[in-house]
Amino acid sequence: MRPPAIGTFGPIRLAVHTQDRGTRTGQKYATCAASGTLIAMHDASWTILAVTIALHQRPDGARLTTLAGAVDKVTSRTVQSALRRLSELGLVERYGQRHPHYRLVQPHPAVPEFVALALRLPEPEQALSVVVRSSPAVWYAAAADDEFMIVQFDDAPEPAMAKLQQAIEIMGARGRPMPRVVRFPRAEFLRLLRVAIGFRVKALALAPIKGHLIARPAELDEPVVADGTAGDEVIDVLDAPD
């Protein structure tokens, strides 16, 4: 049996294997349909995949700070390193001098396949968290183990809504188990916070991913951004920074 041909590119280790996949353990593998190459994902590879997901949600480009916020729990330097690797592959381009932005190269024959890989290789909850944090269509998002709550801007642009929907569909393709995703327009979400106590309790119990819900006594100052009143509490909804 021939040994596998190995190619190394930064934190992503590419291996073309001739042996059966079932005999290998200890690493996560995904198949890139365009080339048949098996990609072994190490921890450092996650940032490259997450940056790809975030850029897919922002086809017009995003600044480094926006991308770092979407990936979460990594430094801007780590994100910058991932962008450099993607640029060397020809998948990402930088534009703008004073305020540099980054975007996926379009058209590029490998970009759709790499985006699909980035969305399908991690656990769905990981990928979906990056999607909602980076999507300009999402105003607030929170999750439990088996459910994602996504609140969309009432006037979210159609292209942003389409990218959000596309990402969810790619993640759930081929019958892959997915958390339950519930989506609300912003106005309807705030209305439910005001009138439905059970909904309000559930919303407060979810772990925020983008933005925050804060319950406080009604006699305190008026909410800053938006509010729903129920009983003796006021719900503040604080926007996440872009």
3-class secondary-structure state, position 149 = strand
Supply the pLDDT for residue 72: 81
Residue 127's pLDDT is what?
96
Residue 16 has pLDDT above 90, yes or no: no
The answer to whether 131 and 123 are in contact (CB under 8 A) is no
* Digit-coded pLDDT (tens) for 197-239: 999 999 989 999 999 887 665 544 433 333 333 333 445 554 4
State pLDDT tens for residues 158-203: 999 999 999 999 999 878 889 999 999 999 999 999 899 999 999 9
CA distance 47 to 108: 21
pLDDT at 74: 85
Residue 231 Ramachandran class (φ > 0 left, ψ -120 to 50 alpha, else beta): left
Which pLDDT score, from 0 to 100, does residue 236 have?
54
Q: Is 114 helix (H, G, I), strand (E, B) or coil?
A: helix
Query: CA-to-CA distance for 67 and 94, rounded, in angstroms?
Result: 13
Helix axes 64-71, 124-134, angle to 10 degrees: 150
Average pLDDT over residues 146-154: 95
Q: Compute the average pLDDT of residues 27-43.
A: 44
Domain boundaries, the chain: 5-122, 136-242
**What pTM, to 2 d.p., does this model score?**
0.74
Higher pLDDT, 65 or 1: 65
In tens, the pLDDT along 45-93 reads 899 999 999 999 999 999 999 999 999 888 899 999 999 999 999 999 9
Residue-wise burial string across 43-63, b where 16 or more C-beta atoms lie within 10 A, e elsewhere: eebbbbbbbbbbbbbbeebbe
- Give CA angle at 49 (48, 53), nearest 5°: 120
End-to-end Cα, the chain, rounded Å: 52
CATH 1.10.10.10 fits 5-122, yes or no: yes
Q: Determine the pLDDT at residue 92.
A: 97
The predicted pLDDT at position 214 comes to 76
Residue for token pair 């005001």: 194
Average pLDDT in the chain = 78
